[in-house]
Amino acid sequence: MKSSEHNNSDRINEGDSHNDDKGCSKHSDKDETYHPQISSWTKSFIKAFEELDNELSLDPTIDSYCSGSTAVTLFRQEEHLLVANLGDSRAILCTRNKKKRLVPVQLTVDLKPNLPYEAERIKSCNGRVFAMPEEPNMCRLWLPDENSPGLAMSRAFGDFCLKDFGLISTPKVYYTKLSSKDEFVVLATDGVWDVLSNKDVVKIVASARKRSMAARLLVGHAVQAWKTKYPNSKIDDCAAICLFLKLPSSIAKATSGFTERSVNQRTGSDKLATIRNNDSHEAQETTTDNDSKEEWSALEGVTRVNTVLQVPRFSTDNSQKRSENKMLNDG
């Protein structure tokens, strides 16, 4: 049975998960002591992801053979929080430590080909996992007999050229029980996490003067970090959602050391949507950012900079074979 995982402190235990043949965490009987519906919710998550991927494969209007998407999705029922993750997007929780300082707790694992259980599944399906010499720290997923497409994640919607070789659309689902110490959750794509740490993200979101501007502020900082760290690179697609768990009072008191920096220098046309739940006093904001100088198209693969390798697809460089052999020996 595929389901959620947690430890005794009601936080997910990423390092002590038990996985089935698809790399999905198995259900713990303790989950039922928190809420009898956890198993049902988890199954619904998995079914929805797999059905969506199947529908995508049948849609002739979308070219998803060598193009796809990650997904990180959240479900909350009172104090029960489930997060389903597919690919290398990420969810973090901002909570308070014993000194009442804001600290991040990572809720998901970035599902990349170098993870042992992901690499094992890929290799069992005749897919290949290795890093190119020019980026030795970035393991990618490759076809059996071609040096393409070089996907930097091990699970995704679409990318059907790799679905027979280890890429799957089954999410990993994580459970955590919320407490009074928890302040907000941030969901974001890898374009944010590639340049900002979990701690950076907590500081930025907590420093926002208005909750409705938190996601916009975060994306602005990510864009600026890309320009600073990788001035000659295209900016990876950045998207963020901020879900606040309490009335807007406690965070402001704890962030006197944080200041909202101006992001007037950033480029891009953001789409901003604010959703407020009047019953639970929650606020949610979504924003995305793309380079305004260039119209980006997912079908062209541009929005997944650093995800699909931008190199000649059929190179016969012996160094690639050596890298692949090293990965196989290490595995």
Kindly list the distances between the CA atom of residue 35 and the CA atoms of 2, 85, 269, in Å, as whole numbers in the listed order.
16, 21, 42
Identify the pLDDT of residue 7: 34
Angle between helices 198-207 and 214-229 (to 10 degrees): 130
How many CB atoms sit inside 10 A of residue 198's CB?
A: 17
Is residue 1 situated within a structural domain? no
Rounded to two decimals, the pTM is 0.70
Identify the three-state secondary structure at position 330: helix
Helix (H) / strand (E) containing 217: helix 214-229
Total number of domains in the chain: 1
Per-residue pLDDT of the chain (331 residues; tens, 9 = 90+): 233 333 333 444 332 233 343 433 333 445 445 567 899 999 999 999 999 999 999 999 999 999 999 999 999 998 999 999 999 999 999 999 999 999 999 999 999 999 999 999 999 999 999 999 988 988 999 999 988 899 999 999 999 999 999 999 999 999 999 999 999 999 999 999 999 999 999 999 999 999 999 999 999 999 999 999 999 889 988 999 999 998 766 555 555 444 433 333 332 323 333 322 333 333 344 444 444 333 332 222 223 344 555 443 333 344 444 444 545 455 4
Is residue 5 situated within a structural domain? no
User: Cβ(156)–Cβ(70) under 8 Å?
Assistant: yes
Is residue 3 situated within a structural domain? no
Identify the pLDDT of residue 135: 87
User: Cβ(311)–Cβ(327) under 8 Å?
Assistant: no
Is residue 212 situated within a structural domain? yes
User: Cβ(140)–Cβ(129) under 8 Å?
Assistant: yes
Is residue 168 situated within a structural domain? yes
Domain of residue 148 covers 14-330
- Looking at residue 169, what DSSP letter applies? -
Is residue 7 situated within a structural domain? no
- Look up the CATH number of the domain holding residue 305: 3.60.40.10
3-class secondary structure per residue, 26-75: ECCCCHHHHCCCHHHHHHHHHHHHHHHHHHHHHCCCCCCCCCEECEEEEE
Is residue 30 situated within a structural domain? yes
C-alpha 11: how far from chain center: 18
Is residue 59 situated within a structural domain? yes
- Return phi, psi of residue 301, to 5°: 80, 5
What does the radius of gyration of the chain's CA atoms come to, in whole angstroms? 20
Identify the three-state secondary structure at position 322: helix
